[in-house]
Structure 1
């Protein structure tokens, strides 16, 4: 137990002795539940996926019935919209009663809000359902785009970069990115990637960078001019060999993953990509892809990260926001979320920590031939420092944009 407490404390940037006794934390949580009852939590979250929106609506019904908390999803097209609102309120001196209670936040925006002191916390260790998480130092739940979380945001779903391909037309893509140019030459015009101005296209380049960068390259720190040039030289050499064999001779690119998925469905290309390992199975069920599509993960693993929620420093309904964050970690909720008939997003919970009821909930989930098992997804490659993506996308635009 002392080892577990020390690990949790280290993960949250606290001294082990600073954690309150379990009984005290339980009492504090009861106070949180009482304060939250009757509150309406405005959850600012990307609204571009109807399955996610439906899941959050289902969660709202569960919260209303169980905790007396009303959940309202404020649908965003970009997380920066919510961040900008908090920044504007800070500038106006509105340090209480803010309009944003909870944000589905991404790494760069988390880093910016953390640096500016715009987040409440640490709060994760106080969530009863945090006991199902691996919060050991270095785990995916404690680092967000190389930035230590330190309890300022709570995980809720796993994201991992995967390729999807049509087995009716091609075999599996190469196991390593280094082999893509030769493979593309054997399938001219049949593969492409989203424009790197979109994060999916940028992720494709980052995946290649991680695999191709010279040994010893440290991608966890921002690049300098010299380190950037040395790290990316093999990448651009690789891309020069790949590009002539891309769809439309590498002169045009789909705007995003959904546009590329449509090309795959229309038979114009044989491969797409996603940050959701369940996206192929879900799209097949929705009639958006042929049932011969399957998922491919590079042999070294692929870029992965955890989706988090965070509470702004001036949230009007912070107690309710903590209740929502805790509900997202309930094993029954996580299992429902992972159900391919619901959302299909992989859980952030540690299976080894689950009790019998939690294990049973996951064991009962339906299977699907296009849905990979967790063990099929391979190693999680950490995201490079955000500055690498910024420079990569700008460099690509300068070299290849028309």
Structure 2
């Protein structure tokens, strides 16, 4: 069965869902929103550093154009803060009705910033027919973004969790806890590194270490204070001082981001790398970007996980079309397509128990790979620290290690 036929078979699902009384659009039915969206163009501001994701966004644009008459234009960002700054500038200039951003791929500190500044449209998620399939009980990161309640102001579309990828043709002993990285790196000097800490992946590696090493990790769920930061990061910096000179190029240079680190693994310069996408290695093997000897695992105590969301700025002129895209991203057929390692490999945000047998079969039919972990292999998902910790850790690392 082709994807076009699968979408056709599932197209009526969710159309009759009752729309709850959320947000300014609550007086309209979903059919009215669909009608108003036709002919609109959605300027989707999204990180453009991964070609597979860019290709998926292109595919989404083709689908919603065919089905709803909505055009999607990706505005490729190197940092989500670029779009946030643009909306802030528009608000300052009084441009409240005709903004340049319709949809943002967002989470973490950027979401907190926009929510606090009242720069977001919504709540809107309960207006989306496909939102009823979202796992809001077993995947708490779908409703809490870096400790901040989502409150319907952003819609989930893909899951992320830290995993580590290694070349099984060269190494078999891999570090299973953060503390294990120092003795492992001593035995394999220069064969591991993390992305630049100014990149979210690099910062997340330090947050993972902080969670495992902090004397009182409960403090990490609260906004950071000077006293807490000093006390909770003492073991982190002690550990990193030992690890840093054992990293690739003695910790004096770092790959710019996750894809750059993946290339080093493919080139044989690294034996161990990391990713925030559990299916990245399998997808990369499938597309020839990594050798078929790559395997994926997580740490024994679990790793940080979060959800990627889309949000609609308060001054978007195409809110209806933006909601169409957000809802399409939650369609079970879209989620299954995205989880396909030949496409994107993103683990679904949906609760499969809420789906029909036909919808669940879409996931059951997906290809597998020796490099692809099962859900059970991922272990516990650790909650992100409060966003303020990420900012402080990044600043402190730069003070200590950027010459």
- Match in the other structure for 1:192: 193
Asked whether the 8 Å contact 1:194–1:200 carries over to 2, the reply is yes
Runs of 4+ in structure 1 over 6 Å off: 24-27
After TM superposition, give the deviation of residue 26 of structure 1 in Å.
Answer: 11
Structure 2 length-normalised TM: 0.90
Residue 259 (structure 2) pairs with residue 252 (structure 1)? no
Asked whether the 8 Å contact 2:190–2:247 carries over to 1, the reply is yes
**Distance (whole Å) between structure 2 residues aligned to residue 85 and residue 60 of structure 1:** 23
Residue 205 (structure 2) pairs with residue 207 (structure 1)? no
- CA shift in 2, pair 1:80/1:400, >3 Å: closer
**Distance (whole Å) between structure 1 residues aligned to residue 222 and residue 355 of structure 2:** 35
After TM superposition, give the deviation of residue 20 of structure 1 in Å.
Answer: 4.6
Asked whether the 8 Å contact 1:172–1:296 carries over to 2, the reply is no
Asked whether the 8 Å contact 2:87–2:313 carries over to 1, the reply is yes
- Match in the other structure for 1:107: 108
- Match in the other structure for 2:399: 398
Residue 52 (structure 2) pairs with residue 51 (structure 1)? yes
- After superposition, the C-alpha distances for 1:38-65 in whole angstroms (9 at most, x for unaligned) are 2121211122222112112212222122
Residue 163 (structure 2) pairs with residue 162 (structure 1)? yes
Range with bigger deviation, 81-90 or 343-352: 81-90
**Distance (whole Å) between structure 2 residues aligned to residue 237 and residue 391 of structure 1:** 17
- Match in the other structure for 2:144: 143
Q: What secondary structure, in the 3-state scheme, does the structure 1 residue paired with 2:266 have?
A: helix
- CA shift in 2, pair 1:266/1:360, >3 Å: same
After TM superposition, give the deviation of residue 165 of structure 1 in Å.
Answer: 0.7
Q: What secondary structure, in the 3-state scheme, does the structure 1 residue paired with 2:304 have?
A: strand
After TM superposition, give the deviation of residue 338 of structure 1 in Å.
Answer: 0.5
After TM superposition, give the deviation of residue 329 of structure 1 in Å.
Answer: 0.2
Residue 277 (structure 2) pairs with residue 270 (structure 1)? no
Q: What secondary structure, in the 3-state scheme, does the structure 2 residue paired with 1:158 have?
A: strand
Asked whether the 8 Å contact 1:338–1:346 carries over to 2, the reply is yes
Gaps of 5+ in 1: 1-17
Asked whether the 8 Å contact 1:165–1:172 carries over to 2, the reply is no
Q: What secondary structure, in the 3-state scheme, does the structure 2 residue paired with 1:218 have?
A: helix
After TM superposition, give the deviation of residue 27 of structure 1 in Å.
Answer: 6.5
Query: How do 1:222-261 and structure 2 match up within 5 A?
Result: 222-261=223-262
- Match in the other structure for 2:293: 292
When the two chains are superposed, the root-mean-square deviation of aligned CA atoms in Å is 2.1
Query: How do 1:311-330 and structure 2 match up within 5 A?
Result: 311-330=312-331
**Distance (whole Å) between structure 2 residues aligned to residue 66 and residue 268 of structure 1:** 46
Asked whether the 8 Å contact 1:331–1:358 carries over to 2, the reply is yes
Range with bigger deviation, 123-132 or 176-185: 176-185
- CA shift in 2, pair 1:137/1:221, >3 Å: farther
Instruction: State the aligned residue count.
Output: 383
- Match in the other structure for 1:122: 123
- Match in the other structure for 2:6: none
**Distance (whole Å) between structure 2 residues aligned to residue 379 and residue 94 of structure 1:** 44
- Match in the other structure for 2:14: none
**Distance (whole Å) between structure 1 residues aligned to residue 330 and residue 231 of structure 2:** 42
- CA shift in 2, pair 1:271/1:95, >3 Å: same
